Amino acid sequence: MRTVAIVGVGYSGFRSITPDLSYKELMYEAAAKAYEDAGVDPQRDIESFVSVAEDFNEGTSIFDEYVPDQIGGALKPVHTICGDGIHGLIAAHMQVLTGAMDIVMVEAHSKASNILTLTDVIAYAMEPIYNRPLGANPLFIGGMEMNRYLYTTDTSEVQCAQVVVKNRGNGFLNPSAAYGARIDVDTVLESDVVSYPLKQLEISSHADGAIVMVLASGEVARELTGLPLWIRGVGWSNETPSLETRDWEGATYARMSAQMAYRTAGIRNPWQEIDFAEIDDTFAYKELQHMEALGLCRDGEAGYLVEEGVTELDGEFPVNPSGGSLGLGHLLDAAGLGRVLEVVLQLRGEAGERQLEDVETGLAFGWRGIPTTSGAAVVLGV
């Protein structure tokens, strides 16, 4: 099989609001930076373009219409993936693997601040016949799942709150993060309960921004850059969107995504062979649940690892050094690509104040948010 590397990244953001920039300008800035970084000209060199978007988040039907111009893709192969940013990255990866393409780009963005009624938009993702008529705020799914997670794993609310403290603290060191802050556990625990036991500060706030990455096949990648970051493994999986029949405990989608990613990467012991991870933390408990499902620790162990500081920047296995979605801001469809971006910056040694030492292999995992059971993982290495 061919090898594929990330040879260029560019991003714009991340800020809680961007009244000065349209989504097209965010995309243009990210794309221009990524092409500069990779040393490629989009019309001349890039053979396929993948954008990641959902119509309702954009407020435009058939949103892929409005993609090609600002990324230099007009009259070229361009298509959209309705998924997480990591699904888009994998779509680009697969195209290079076929041998038909050598250079492919992926783009994802968020203009969440344009959405006046985000909760109502999410409610439109609910199953329309049995679930939507209940009229519940869809965040109840997060509350129910968190409750189940705490009950089955003996994880404490304090441990969940510690995830928030850690990630927003990491975000404080990240100049791109929209929600970096030094807060303490009590502040988190005392914040309003949104859907018991899920609290306001445990829910990531949304941010605007765009991320673009350029992928290239082995030899081309080596020509383009002295530091290609190899895509060692990919995996993605979908359990079931049905609230009635899904697994409420174990984040099966994450478990299966990881199994495939580790299999394709040839990883047997992720804790030993991976140096750090960027993991979806849309809700604080999700970081813990996902760590366990991704096989980074045993079930019920993640809370203790956080409590003991193992996942801090200077810990044995740092998790979300970027600040995660809690610190960086949740980037809607680009959230997973935000996780990948930090893995790239860390492996390149470009992570500034939050730079980890001696890291060679990193894992990124994205989840599509409620009410989905859809996740995607990628393992990158130098």
Residue among 77, 250, 300, 315 that touches another protein (CB under 8 A): 77
Residue among 252, 311, 320, 325 that touches another protein (CB under 8 A): 252
Q: Which residue has the tokens 């493994």?
A: 233
Q: How does DSSP assign 221-272, residue by residue?
A: HHHH-SS-EEEEEEEEEE----TTTS-SSS-HHHHHHHHHHHHHHT-S-HHH
Query: Rounded distance, CA 10 to CA 161, Å?
Result: 32
103-111 and 48-52 beta bridge pairing: parallel
Q: Which stretch, 86-94, 178-186, 279-287, 318-326, contacts another protein (CB under 8 A)?
A: 86-94
How distant is the alpha carbon of residue 100 from its chain centre? 28
Residue among 36, 41, 119, 127 that touches another protein (CB under 8 A): 127
Structure-block tokens of residue 169: 């603290």
Residue among 5, 30, 90, 243 that touches another protein (CB under 8 A): 90
222 near another protein (CB under 8 A): no
Q: How does DSSP assign 129-194, residue by residue?
A: TTTGGG---TTHHHHHHHHHHHHHHT--HHHHHHHHHHHHHHHHT-TT-SS-----HHHHHHSPEE
Q: Which stretch, 32-40, 51-59, 224-232, 271-279, contacts another protein (CB under 8 A)?
A: 51-59
205 near another protein (CB under 8 A): no
- 325, 283, 279: which is closest to 16 by C-alpha? 325
80 near another protein (CB under 8 A): yes
Q: Which stretch, 10-18, 61-69, 188-196, 353-361, contacts another protein (CB under 8 A)?
A: 61-69
Residues 329-368 that bind another protein (CB under 8 A): 368
Q: Which stretch, 124-132, 143-151, 190-198, 206-214, contacts another protein (CB under 8 A)?
A: 124-132
Residues that bind another protein (CB under 8 A): 1-2, 49, 53-57, 59-62, 64-69, 73-83, 87, 90-91, 93-95, 97-100, 121-122, 124-125, 127-129, 234-242, 252, 256, 260, 264, 368, 371-372, 374
